[in-house]
Amino acid sequence: MLKTKSLLLLFFLNISFSQTIYENFESDFLKDTRELKVQLPRNYNENLSKEYPLIIVLDGDYMFEAVSGSVDYLSYWGNIPESIIVGVNQINTRYDDCSVLDNIDFVPISSTANFYDFISEELIPYFDKNYRTTKFKVAVGHEATANFINYFLLNNKTSFSGFIAISPKFSYNMENYLIERFDKIKTNVFYYLASSDRDFKSIDERTKELSRNLNSSKNELISFKYKQYNNLTHYNLPIHSVSEGFEHVFETYSAINSIEYDSVLKKTALSPVKYLINKYDNIANYYDINKTILVNDIRAIEKYIEESEQFKYYKDLSKLAIDKYPKTILGSYYMGLYHERTGDAIKAMHIYRSAYTLEDIEGITKDELLERADIISNDFN
């Protein structure tokens, strides 16, 4: 039976701070006790129905703070979801945990196989049982541990869907294993790979060569990104790269930004409203998170409709706004725009005025709708 002994529990109840727990985890597979660092999301104890992705950080003795700081910052601004972060201390066990491989297939054996089972059969099930986790899990590693996390990807039954591999020290033939595996993966996977021109030469060269091969993969279920940084060493690369890694892993989750607007939305063959609905359906499918459609994303669709002059889509946008924000003026605003832009200004005027009993919403007020109605009225007098 799994046993955990809490060494230090820092809960800041009713205060908007991240919460850090330090635990000793007794593992049957490792026949040892492993130190863990756990960061819970802000207000974890207040949002009792909310579930969170789980991020497992190897080399937790020095990588945990870089990851936890980035995740807390990015989630604060809504770029990525709030997440539960678990750092595994490996300061005295890194080689045994990650580098004991057989000399034929170069896959984990002995202590490394036990560490693999510890992660997949003990650690993840423990957090799924005792914390509010979603199905989406991310593995983060640096150097030897960045190579090790790939073994989870090579396993058809892996629990991880996101991988952040920083400056990986690949084992023999790992590149070929990954290239072959990328073509066969049948679930959505997000993979971020980083190195630097000042990294160890062998690491930089092998990651660049691997990226060229992986970028040619035609598997649409894989979202792969490689970044080669300049003037960063092997040891300061993690602090600079983890944020971009998480932004890539959660690329679909973030609000529509200028890059998505220009390079994706403006080029889609779908209706803009259907594009927005699909985006949030993908968030649910990829990350197991039911995220409410942001008003800012709805306004981005409004901008697209205005710029492209495809005013017929305001009718669909109004229906979506009424569904997601029924007590607000948003639906009336877009239905009024639909009629105003398609030639029925009088009907638009009545819709604007009828919204007075509803609530204001971000960037749009009842007074503004009444002003639009008055302008239409004055034009007819």
State the residue range of the domain holding 294. 258-379
pLDDT for 6 equals 42
Same domain, 161 and 308: no
- For residue 264, give the CATH number of its domain: 1.25.40.10
Q: What is the DSSP track for 222-263? A: EEEEEEEEEEEETTTHHHHHHHHHHHHHTTTTSPP-HHHHHH
Asked if 64 and 172 sit in the same domain, the reply is: yes
Whether residues 226 and 262 share a domain: the answer is: no
Q: Are residues 371 and 225 in the same domain?
A: no
Amino acid at 200: F
| Residue that terminates a domain, selected from 228, 249, 270 | 249
Both 104 and 64 in a single domain? Answer: yes
Residues 237 and 355 in one domain: no
- CATH code, domain carrying 228: 3.40.50.1820
The dihedral built from the CA positions of residue 370, 372, 375 and 377, taken in this order, carries a sign that is: negative
End-to-end CA distance of the chain, in Å? 81
Radius of gyration in angstroms for the set of CA atoms belonging to the chain, rounded to a whole number: 25
- 146/195 same-domain check: yes
In this structure, are 164 and 58 located in the same domain? yes
With beta carbons less than 8 A apart as the criterion, state whether 12 and 60 touch.
no
Instruction: Assess contact for 89 and 61: CB atoms under 8 A.
Output: yes
Do 151 and 282 lie in a common domain?
no
Q: What is the pLDDT of residue 158?
A: 81
Domain boundary among the residues 249, 272, 300 is at: 249
Determine the pLDDT at residue 12: 34
pLDDT in the model for residue 5 = 40
Q: Which of 249, 281, 302 is the last residue of a domain?
A: 249
Which pLDDT does position 267 carry in this prediction?
A: 94
Residues 177 and 293 in one domain: no
Which segments in the chain show pLDDT lower than 70?
A: 1-19, 381
Q: Looking at the structure, tell me whether residues 142 and 121 fall in a common domain.
A: yes
Q: Specify the number of domains making up the chain.
A: 2
In terms of domains, do 267 and 234 share one?
A: no
Name the CA dihedral angle for 293, 295, 297, 299, rounded to a multiple of 10 degrees: 140
CA-closest candidate to residue 51, choices 126, 128, 163, 158: 128
Question: Which amino acid is residue 281, in one-letter code?
Answer: D
Kind and range of the H or E run holding 22: strand 19-27
